Structures are given as C-alpha cells and as structure tokens.
Amino acid sequence: MKQRWTIFILALLSSHIAYGQADPASEPAVLAVAKVLPAVVNINTERVVRRRVRDPFEDFAAQFFGNYRSEPREIRQTLQSLGSGFIVDPAGYIVTNEHVVQRAADLKIEVTMNDGKVYNARYITGDEKKDLAFIKIEAKADFPFIDLNNLSPNLLGQTVLVVGNALGYGSSISRGVLSATKRDITVEEVDYKNLLQTDAAINPGNSGGPVIDLSGRLVGVSSAKMAFTPQGVPTQGLGFAIPADTVRDSVATFREIAKNQPPPKPKSTEPEERGSKAQQLFGIQLQNLTADLTDALGYAAGKGVLISAVEPDSPADRAGIQRGLVVYRLGKYNVNSVKQVENLLARVGSGNEVDFTVGIIRNNGGGQRMETVPLTAR
C-alpha cells in the first residue's frame, strides 16, 4: 500500500511540474522579450536630398544659341527609411544603425515606442565603419532601457532572439541560435567586420534593433542579411549582428560627444523656407520665357511662364503637371513673369486652392492646348 501511495504522489508531482513547464507565460523566451520590449523602438526617418540641375531645355536651346546657359536650379527629393533601435539610457539615448538614420539635409527622425507613444528624435553622432548611430528623444520621465553593463557571453549555439520592426510591423520577434562569430562580409558593396552570425530571421526594418539571449541580455545589433553569396548563390539562415561589446564601446565614445554638444535649439514656429512660393507650396520651379527661348521652342512670345521642373510627389506632380508646360494664368490673372506669379502667391497658405491654367500656345497659333488644374498648397 505504501508503495502505491508513493507512486501516486510522484505521478501527481510530475503532472504539476509538466503543467508548469507547459505554461507559455513562464517560457524563458517570453520572459526575455517582455523584459526588453519596452526599450525597443521603431524608427522612421525622412531626409531631403538636394541636387542642382540646369534647365531641361538647355541642350535644345544650345543648338541655336551656342553659349546659352540657364541658371542651375535645385531639385529636392524626399527619401524615407525604416528601422529599429533600442534605448540604452533612461535619459532617452538610443542606439541604431547608421544607415537607418544617416545624416542628411533636413533629417527628420520619428521614434515610436512599444506603447504607441511617438517622439521626435535628434541625431547625436554615428560611426559609418561600425554602422552604429546615437540619437536622442526627450521626455520628463525616465525611459526603460537595455543595460550595456550586463552583456550576453555570446556562446556558439546559444538561443538568440531578434526584436524589432520587421517589414514595418512593430514588436516582431524571431528566434534562432548564435551560429558564428568574427565574420567579415560584404553586403550591397558595404564591408562589415567582426560580425556575429545567426540563423534567426533578420528582415528589412530589423536593422538597428537588439539581438538578445534568453536572459534578456544584449547579444548584438541587427545589421545585415545576406540573401546571396558574392558568387550569386542564394543563402538561407544567414543574418548578421554587430557584437554587444562593440556597441558598448561605441556608446561610451558617443556619450562623450553628446556631452560636448550644445543643447538643442527650440524649433522655430516659422514655416520652413524652401525657395520660391511656387516651389514651396506646389513643387513647381518656374523660369521666364525670354525672347530667345520662345523663338527656339516655338512658343508664343510674351505669354506665360515656363515650368522648368516639378518636384516628385508634390501637388503639381500628383496633378499630372509636367516640365515643359507653360503657366498662362493663376486664377483669373494672366501671368507673363516669375515675379508676377510670386506676387500672386504671396498670400497663399497651406491648404489654399489655386487654379493653374497650363498648356502650350505655339507662335504660329497651331497646336494650342490649355487646361485649368486646381492645386492645393501643401
């Protein structure tokens, strides 16, 4: 009888142990993710790239006037990128990849926390060779953070978790093992040195996010995924991360740079100046139709203003307006110079609608075509 009771008690204890092991809330991976997720952020950046170009009709006009040269004009193009990062200091300092927040003209960085709160961040500094960057968000309360003084031992075969903004979906997790260390690779003509290798999925948007172990300690920073070998052979399970000790040492340097930077200036409430009103409000660059140009192009003399460029994804671009067309009228007013256009647009603000009459009038009266297009100022 005593033996039967012993067997029964052992069976009962075993069932309780098995039940506890089967509880998902107690799984090490679940606990590790819950520990670090509040410190992981999604990063959206927008940067404006400027380039100067000459009038699109210059080559055509040069055939007739030899040394004719128009003034170069500036084209602005907005580039966006998506990535991840994580807070390493309660004051709001964040580590991410340099290629996610690469400094450029008019750089704007938006950081979304795991709880949905959104902050504007400023770029502090970065290291292109290590592909690491330091940015900062501001708030009155302390932020949750990942401790860089308690790093993973990074043992081959250990379980690792990739946390980040995969494909734009926040709070994404993938799991694998630490496959190798000290890897030197080239991805899209960029050389990476001394990386960790893992078979955990690293997708676009994961860049800059943390790779952690089952204790929630930092293993590294997601950096690159190799889809093909240099010989063009497709790969599987080859993701790479910057080692945690490299991150720790870089952050120490970044902190010193941050200490020596002046405090951020308060943002101006004045609207950003972006060239002429036509360009600022509607994305149109204009040029006077000189006698030489009208003769060379065959346009009617003394009428309208030439559209020399249209900014991508601007109100004019979305309405189908193209360079080479001529603006003949704004609202009920005929225009014959850039100055006239600017004067008429002087009081136009964001959200106002203006009727642009555009088209081409030939000097021989043939092929005349005009259309009135309403544009809403941005």
Where in the sequence of the chain do the CATH 2.40.10.10 domains occur? 159-240
Instruction: List the catalytic residue out of 81, 172, 179, 207.
Output: 207
Nearest to 212 by CA among 195, 198, 227: 198
Superfamily of domain 277-376: PDZ domain (2.30.42.10)
CA distances from 184 to 106, 127, 142 (A): 33, 17, 37
Closest among 219, 241, 237, 216 to 27, alpha carbons compared = 216
pTM exceeds 0.85: no
Report the alpha-carbon distance of residue 182 to residue 200 in Å, rounded: 17
CATH 2.30.42.10 segments of the chain: 277-376
What's the CA gap between 48 and 81, in Å, rounded? 12
CB distance 202 to 176 below 8 Å: no
User: What CATH class has 159-240?
Assistant: mainly beta
Q: DSSP letter string over 198-209?
A: E-S---TT-TT-
Q: Could you say which of 81, 89, 99, 308 is catalytic?
A: 99
Q: What is the pLDDT of residue 373?
A: 93
The reply to whether 268 belongs to the active site is: no
Over its length of 378 residues, how does the chain's per-residue pLDDT go in tens digits? 555 555 555 555 555 554 445 688 889 999 999 999 999 999 988 766 555 555 555 555 555 444 445 555 555 555 566 789 999 999 999 999 998 887 655 678 889 888 888 899 999 999 988 999 999 999 888 999 999 999 999 999 999 999 998 876 777 899 999 999 998 877 665 677 889 999 998 888 888 999 999 999 999 999 876 655 556 666 666 889 999 999 999 999 999 999 887 776 655 433 344 468 898 899 898 888 877 777 777 888 888 998 887 888 889 999 999 888 999 999 999 999 989 999 999 889 889 999 999 998 888 766 677 899 999 999
55, 89, 131, 213: the catalytic one is 131
Active site residue 171: no
User: Is 16 an annotated catalytic residue?
Assistant: no
- As a residue count, the chain comes to 378
Cβ partners under 8 Å of residue 263, min gap 6: none
